[in-house]
Amino acid sequence: MLHLVATPIGDFTEITFRAVEILKAADVILCESTKETSTLLKRLEIKAKRYEILNEHTTLEDLIKLAEMCKNENVALVSDCGTPGFCDPGNNLIQLCRKNKVLVKTVLGASSLMGLLSLSSQRINQFLFRGFMPAENESRAKEWTKLKAEKNAIIIMDTPYRLKKTLEEVVQHFNSRDILLVMNLSQETEEVLEGRPSFVLQNLKFAKAEFMLMIYPV
């Protein structure tokens, strides 16, 4: 069996009771990095487990072996933070498990997407989840141009060190629409900025931060 276990985004006490139980009972824990996961388990007073790695470098051959392991053992999949399978390689393993008739269950918990939506001052009934923007400049510019035609809310993620660059691009393409920027969710340094992109950029305090950004609908 494979359990998809949501882990805290910031404050480690935000993990659910059920998640702790599943992690305690697991034979194997699949994670992006043993450093982050072992630190979390130590804080939760969960004894050391057998770890396997699932990240962007995992090959198809590795995935096949991991799917077979899920058939024979009790496996918990976690990401460094938040819900696994959301903007990470977990979906590839889920696909293989389903193909091999391995039971896959979710253990709900922290979600940066739900955190962003809950902090919105507008009621959002529909949105386009764009996720991570392309890293390469030409592809990135084309994507911004394509997004300008979208009238619904648009949700964007990117790496922490591209925070300022992303905001500068939003100013360029969407400065007539309000935005919501949330940074370092559930951490002591959490900050929320809302308003025109130029205002948000002007009031930005972080050079880099974990962030999600929503461009409000027209």
Is the distance from CB of 145 to CB of 139 less than 8 angstroms? no
The position carrying tokens 């050079």 is 207
Largest pairwise CA distance in the chain:
55
Tokens of residue 32, six digits: 């992006």
Residue 147 CA, distance from chain mean position? 21
DSSP calls for 71-127: HHS-EEE--SSB-TTSSSTHHHHHHHHHHTT--EEEE----HHHHHHHT-SS--S-E
pLDDT computed for residue 100 by the predictor: 93
Residue 82 — left, alpha, or beta (φ > 0 → left; ψ -120 to 50 → alpha)? left
pLDDT of 179:
98
The pLDDT-based confidence of 80 (bands split at 50, 70, 90) is confident
Please write the tens of the pLDDT for every residue from 156-212.
Answer: 999 999 999 999 999 999 999 999 999 999 999 999 999 999 999 999 999 899 999
Distance between CA atoms of residues 133 and 141, nearest Å:
10
- Per residue in 136-145, pLDDT (tens digit) is 999 999 999 9
pLDDT band at 12 (very low <50, low <70, confident <90, very high): confident
% of the chain residues with pLDDT over 90:
86
Compute the average pLDDT of residues 76-93.
Answer: 87
Distance between CA atoms of residues 53 and 118, nearest Å:
32
> Looking at domain 2-107, what is its CATH homologous superfamily?
Tetrapyrrole methylase, N-terminal domain (3.40.1010.10)
pLDDT of residue 87: 76
Q: Which structure tokens are listed for 128?
A: 């386009």
Q: Name the residue type at position 23.
A: L
* Domain limits, the chain: 2-107, 112-215
| pTM score, whole prediction | 0.87
Given this structure, which CATH class describes domain 112-215?
alpha beta
Structure tokens at 28: 């194997």
- CA separation for the pair 55, 177 (Å, rounded): 36
DSSP H or E run through 52: strand 50-53
Relative to beta strand 191-195, strand 179-183 is antiparallel
Measured CA to CA, the distance from residue 203 to residue 210 in angstroms comes to 17
